[in-house]
Structure formats: structure tokens, C-alpha cells
Amino acid sequence: MSETVMEMDIIRQERQEVANRKTLGFWIYLMTDVVLFSSLFATFAVLRNAVASGPSGQDLFSMPFVLGETLVLLTSTFTIGMAVVLAKRGFKIAALFNLLLTFGLGVAFLVMELTEFTEFVHEGASWQTSAFLSSFFALVATHGLHVAFGLLWMLGLGIKMIRRWGKETDLGRLALLGTFWHFLDIIWIFIFTFVYMIGVLG
């Protein structure tokens, strides 16, 4: 009996070590993303006035539309936070419902972003028009790709949680997903402020 208990303790320790390594790997990845976005923000700051003969932010940006995007994404921060809290407390249906809401809001945000990009291109303001627009598309589209990745992660994790509810590793992954999603919201706040608001104000 004691040997069985010891074996179980060893298994738990090994699982905890694996989880700790994955968490460390996640934070290292997140730090590389910080460097990536810092570089893109710096590039945009340098090129924001390099419009050549093309339109500027004042000509293109619609603040009511961008504010709508922002509210959608910030609402998803609340719903994924609720999903993490509810999952840890064992409320399966409520947690999955909030995860589904987050997924829907994330999809809505991406649709809005793609709509904005399409309108810009139709107006003749593509990433090839000027250095300003090249840096704008690079920054905002990189954020959008991260949102798309987060949605794929969310979908896969949601399916796993439905099949095997309560597994500790899945709850840990959900917490990491929540952290990643909050990170994307913070990046978007910087984009909203330094790209759109300052762009409109000139």
C-alpha cells in the first residue's frame, strides 16, 4: 500500500515538473512576443508620418468603428476571466459558456478587423501605398494573427474540456490561455491609443 502511495506521489511530482516547464516555456514565448510587438511599435512610430502621397491616419481611421472593436475585445477579457474562475471552482457548464462567449467575441473582432482592412484596400490604401501603411498593416495584422491563434487554442482546449472535464492539466492550460488573451488585450489598448487615437489627432 505504501509503495503504491509513493508511486502516486512520484507521478504527481513528475506531472508537476512537466507543468512547471510548460509554464516557463509559455512565459519565455510571451516575452519574445513583447519584443516582437515592441519592434513593430517602434517601426510604426518612426514611419507614422511617412505617408508619401497616400492617405494618413486622419483620412482613414473611423474612431467609432475602432471603439466598437475595442469594446468587443475588452468584453472578451471579462468572459475568459470568468471562464478561468468558474472552471477552477468546478462549474463546467458556466465555464464552457463563458469560453464560448469569448470565442464568439474573438471571431467578431477578427471579422471587424478584416472588414477595416478590406475597406482600406478598396480605397487604395494598401500596405504597398506608403511606409506608414506598411507599418500599420504589419502591426495590426500581427495582433490579428495572434488573436486567430488564440481562437484555435481556445477551440482545441474547449473540445478537450468537454471530453474530459476537470483534468488538472486542462485547467492549467485554460489559465495560460487566459493570460495570453489578456496580453492581446493589453497590446490592443496600446494599438488603440498610439495608432488610432494619435493617428486621428495627427
Q: Convert the pLDDT of each residue in 91-150 to its tens digit.
A: 889 999 999 999 999 999 999 999 999 999 999 899 898 999 999 999 999 999 999 999
Q: Convert the pLDDT of each residue in 17-53 to its tens digit.
A: 556 677 888 889 999 999 999 999 999 999 999 988 8
Q: Structure pTM?
A: 0.88
Residue 9 dihedral angles phi and psi, to the nearest 5°: -65, -40
Q: Go through the domains of the chain in sequence order and give each one's CATH number.
A: 2-201 (1.20.120.80)
CA distance 163 to 157: 10
Q: How many CA atoms lie within 13 A of 30 on its CB side?
A: 18
Closest to 60 in 3D by CA, of 42, 48, 73: 48
